[in-house]
Each structure stands twice: as structure tokens, then as C-alpha cells.
Amino acid sequence: MPLYRYRAVDKQGRVTKGETDALNEFDLTAQLKKNDLELIRASSNKSRKHSVHKLSRRDLIQFLFQLEMLLRAGVPIQAILSDLRETSETPHIKALCANLYEKIDSGSTISEAFAANPGIFPELVVNLIRAGEGTGQLPYVLQEIVASLKWQDELVSKTRQLLTYPAFVTLVVGSVVVFLMTYLVPQILGFVANMGGTIPLQTVVLLWVSDKFVRYWWIIVPAPFVIIVLILILSKMSYRFRRMMHAAQLRIPYVGTIIKKIILARISDTLGLTYRTGIPVLDGLVYCRNISGNIVVQEALDLARTDIANGAPISRGFSAQKLFPPLVIRMIRVGEETGDLAGSLKNISYFYNRDINDSISRVQALIEPTLTIVLGIILGWIMMAVLGPIYDTIAKLKLT
């Protein structure tokens, strides 16, 4: 975007000099008028390209929501982008609006302008926009996209909510155990050993563990992080290992079931969204495959898509791969028979949303007392192993 150096005059006749970036001189004139300035002369001294950074999900939702509302009100797309550029408080959205304005001003369609920013707009969103342009229902399509993105944002928030508490408690417990084993326990047990007496088995075990922590803390402390990094590296290098990890992810007790439900919820929501906006089911399944993020589910979707391409109903294709539970398959079958597949898929999304909420609540209710019990057992064992010999030593001193 050009950077303009200008001279302007205000209502009192005072001349002002400055420079600002603008799409063209008309845009520069409009910007100055908003500040009660009248353009006298302007020159473009250099050209700059806007670096459009990736937006957060909430910024993207906000941008698409404003775009949908203004298009529904009948405001032209270039006027919308110009206004959003001026009123937005987020620099990334300002740069995005300028980028889209330039492309549309040079003759691109809205979907083509969106497609030129793949780091911001996913392929699914671009194709939904293209379908909305083709059918003349762009505001409706944007409304559906915004609703879907909001729902996915809630799913991400719920997943973080599920994992945050266990991760925090595990970190605290690990830190306490490392501190006890490397600092406190050696000092106390050294005092007990110097006083003489018989050391019970549990204290001997604690001494052995503490000694290993003191000697090899530089291996034990970073070990979990090293293992995680190795898993990530192997997952990128080996398809077979990545598939094994994805399969294990779905088999984690309690949590794996919720992860599978979240994946299937996104699949049903995406398939319903593409179907309602006029994208063929086979193409919609490709997008479902891309957003699933799990190889096991992707392979099942590929097989189901092959069956559907060969003439099988959607319900039979999904049922053969055990993708959805029987209740959901029955809902899809009813939608196919009544001609309201879009409505059935929407009901499935609602069903999973409720089910995921309940499942997360149950798992959280189970995790909190379980972690408390584990922490109590660890600390109780350490205290018994430390205080037992001290108590025995003090008792012998009293007897003598």
C-alpha cells in the first residue's frame, strides 16, 4: 500500500503536513475529511506491502461477523472493508482489510481475495464463501461460518478446561516431590542415620529413591519434556508411529472417549455446514477429513467416502466404519429418508455438544479427587518413612 506525503488545510485555514498510508488518493481524501482536513497536495513516495499476520480465532470470528452484518444490510464490500479498516482497533485486522480491499479493487472476487490469504482463511471457509457467491446467499453462508467457528471455539475452551487442572496439579505434585527428594529428605534421614538405630524397609526405599534424585536430577527433571519432544519428532518422521499414537489417544480411559466425541462433533458440524451451503457430500467429507486431526478417523472417513461414492447411503458408509454410535446413525438415516439431512446433522451437533459438556463435567469430578488421593499417598508415604525412624529414635532415648 502506498505511503502518501500530503499537505492539507483545516477549517481555520491552517496548513498541515504529514504522511499516512492509504489505498489511493480517494482513500487519503476520505481519511483526511474525517479529521476535518481538506487535501491540497499529495505524493506517493514509496510503496509498502501489508504483512497480514494470522488472526486469532476470536478476531477472525469478529471480522466475519461484522462482514456478515454489513453485507446483510446491503453495504458494498469495498465500503465495508474501508470502514472496518478505519474503525478496527486491531492492527492485524486493519492490514487484512487493506489487503482484501486492494485485491477486490483490482478485480478479484471475495472468495479469490480470501484464497490469497491461506494463513488466515482455511480452505473450507474459502470454498464456503465461493459457494455463497455462486448461490447469492453470501450473508447466510457467513452467518453459518460464524456460528460454526463460535461452536468450535467453545469446544477448544472445554478441552483446555479439561486438561488445565490435571496439568497444574501434576506440575505442583512433581515440584513438591523433587524438592522433598533432593533437599529435605536427605537432611532429615542423615540426621536419623547419625542417631543410630534400625531403619525400616520403607525408609530404606525412600533413601534409595532420594539418592537417585540427588545423583541424577539432571536426567529425571527434564525427562518428561524430552520424552514429549521425542514423541513429537517421531510423529513427524514416521506415519506408522503417528498412527499408533493417534490410536492410543482414542483409547485413553475417559479422556479418549471425550476426544473422540469432540472429533465426531466437528465432523458432523462441518458436514452439516457444507451440505447446507450447497457443497456436495463427497467434497464435504474431504473437508471433514482435513479438520479431524486424527489418522484413525481420517482412514475411516476415506473408506466411508469410497462406499458413498460407490452408491451407498451416508448412514451405511458411516455405520460400516463404526464412526458414529447407533443413535447417531439412526438420526442420519432418518434425515436421508425425510430429505432433511441438514437438519439431522444439526441435531447431531447439538447432541454431541450436550454429551461433551456432561462427559467433561463427569471426568473433572473424577480427576480432582483422584489427584488429591495420589498426592496424599505420595506425601503420606514420605512422611511415614521420615517420621517413623525419628519417632523410634526418640522413644529409645526416653527409655534410656
How does pLDDT run across 140-181, given as a tens digit for each residue? 889 888 988 888 888 778 777 777 777 787 787 778 777 877
- Rounded to the nearest integer, the mean pLDDT of the chain is 82
Q: Where are the alpha helices (DSSP H) in 180-238?
A: 185-194, 201-220, 223-237
What pLDDT is attached to residue 396?
67
User: Could you tell me if 45 and 54 are in contact, meaning their C-beta atoms sit under 8 angstroms apart?
Assistant: no
**What is the percent of the chain where pLDDT is above 70?**
90
Q: Which of 15-24, 272-281, 313-322, 331-340 has the lowest mean pLDDT?
A: 15-24
If you average pLDDT over each of 84-98, 101-115, 198-212, which comes out highest? 101-115
Cell numbers placing 136: 447469492
Q: Is residue 265 scored above 80 in pLDDT?
A: yes
Pairing of strands 2-9, 15-21: antiparallel
- How far is the C-alpha of 217 from the C-alpha of 231, rounded, in Å? 22
Which DSSP state fits 197? S
